[in-house]
Structure 1
Amino acid sequence: MNSADHAAFDRLGEKVTSPSTLAHVVLRTANFQPMVDFYTAFLGGRVTYGNEFICFITYDSEHHRIAILNVPGTAKKQPTSSGLEHIAFTFPTMYELLLAYRQRKHLGIAPVWSVNHGPTTSIYYKDPDGNMLETQVDNFDTIEDANAFMNSSHFAENPIGTDIDVEDLI
């Protein structure tokens, strides 16, 4: 680090430097192997490292996107407690979202909710511990268009969206 870089640490500004990417999510479970099997199948992923305590799973060039920790004695998820609501995964096209839905359905992984949120079309699932997972596709061509819709009176009237039948979309 040079002196100019070091001096920047004293010019903090008004905003924290944002990260470049969300790297991974770690889930604690007492239901280890079913969770590993589910996430590997759900993501079309692969295990990059695993033992009886921890498993790293990825589906892209990152070394891991999901880590599963085996922590015996972990209590079941309490639906009324604070915490993570869901993890969302984006697909580049509607075709790929629907294809992944059909592939999961073939593996016995069924959605619990399907909805057009407006900015996205989303299909939700639950893992073996009850954690919610969203698979989605953007409905707008640009972030600016999505943001404009999210700031419209139409979105304000119904920010959750409208339930859909995925088979009807296909």
Structure 2
Amino acid sequence: MGAANQDEFDRPGEKVQSPSTLAHVVLRTGNFQQMVDFYIQFLGGSITYGNDFLCFITYDEEHHRIALLNIPGTGKKQPTSSGLEHIAFTFPTVRDLLVAYRQRKHRGILPVWSVNHGPTTSIYYKDPDGNMLETQVDNFDTVEDANKFMTSPHFAENPIGTDIDVEDLIDRMRKGDDEAVLKKRVEIGARAIPAMDEM
């Protein structure tokens, strides 16, 4: 048995063994306390560890999902530089996504873009440093159905999506529209990528 296990270390395999989950994201900031306060509110989270240099924030079973590093001299985010575009957080239902949107709105946290991408219905925000955050719900019940949509002519023509009015979705849900109806993308044809740095 030991020799067989030893062989695993010497076999390249068909691919690298995948991790079991994405654990956390670490953000460098020169705007430490404001970022800490924002992420606690934005995620409905709590601090599991913190000092003047480091803060671990979680909202679920993981000991931290967001870590913030207080690094003096950190410059302003440059929207045109390469690097992380956004962090996405998934909700189980449209109702949960919309309730969280309204709860953030009551706290003065407003979205910068709301869109039905097709595979997801998404509401985007920016943190105090300008990092983009996506809150989303999956529009399809299975990965296979989502993949089928992403290989469709509609998605080939418009992989960006159709802008949505979140307040209208809430009104429609209150009137009894089914979540499946709310998640169906309205097709608008081709569109350009929005200028995220202007949001």
**Shorter-normalised TM range:** over 0.9
Aligned to 2:154: 154
SS in 2 for 1:60: coil
Inter-partner Cα distance in structure 1 for 2:116 and 2:35: 28
SS in 2 for 1:109: coil
Which letter does structure 2 place at the counterpart of 1:17? Q
Inter-partner Cα distance in structure 2 for 1:62 and 1:111: 26
Inter-partner Cα distance in structure 1 for 2:126 and 2:52: 23
Inter-partner Cα distance in structure 2 for 1:99 and 1:129: 25
SS in 2 for 1:87: strand
Aligned to 1:120: 120
Aligned to 2:15: 15
Which letter does structure 2 place at the counterpart of 1:145? D
Aligned to 2:76: 76
- Identity over the aligned pairs, expressed in percent? 82
Q: Give, in angstroms, the shift of residue 2 of structure 1.
A: 3.1
Inter-partner Cα distance in structure 2 for 1:4 and 1:36: 48
Q: Give, in angstroms, the shift of residue 3 of structure 1.
A: 2.8
Inter-partner Cα distance in structure 1 for 2:2 and 2:35: 46
Inter-partner Cα distance in structure 2 for 1:70 and 1:5: 43
Task: Tell whether 2:101 aligns with 1:101.
Answer: yes
Which letter does structure 2 place at the counterpart of 1:24? H
Q: Deviations over 1:132-167 (max 9, x none)?
A: 000000011111000000011110000000000000
Inter-partner Cα distance in structure 2 for 1:166 and 1:4: 56
Inter-partner Cα distance in structure 1 for 2:40 and 2:18: 30
SS in 2 for 1:9: helix
Which deviates further from its counterpart, 102-111 or 7-16?
7-16
Aligned to 2:67: 67
Can you give the 5+ residue segments of structure 1 that lack an aligned partner in the other structure?
none
Inter-partner Cα distance in structure 1 for 2:50 and 2:38: 15
Inter-partner Cα distance in structure 2 for 1:54 and 1:10: 38
Q: Deviations over 1:88-140 (max 9, x none)?
A: 00000000000000000001000000000001000000000000000000011
For residues 24-43 of structure 1, the aligned pairs below 5 Å read 24-43=24-43
- TM-score, normalised by the number of residues in structure 1: 0.98
Inter-partner Cα distance in structure 2 for 1:51 and 1:2: 44
Aligned to 1:165: 165
Paired residues in the alignment total 170
Which deviates further from its counterpart, 9-18 or 131-140?
9-18
Which deviates further from its counterpart, 8-17 or 75-84?
8-17
Q: Give, in angstroms, the shift of residue 13 of structure 1.
A: 1.5
- TM-score, normalised by the number of residues in structure 2: 0.84
Q: RMSD in angstroms over aligned alpha carbons?
A: 0.9
Inter-partner Cα distance in structure 1 for 2:3 and 2:35: 48
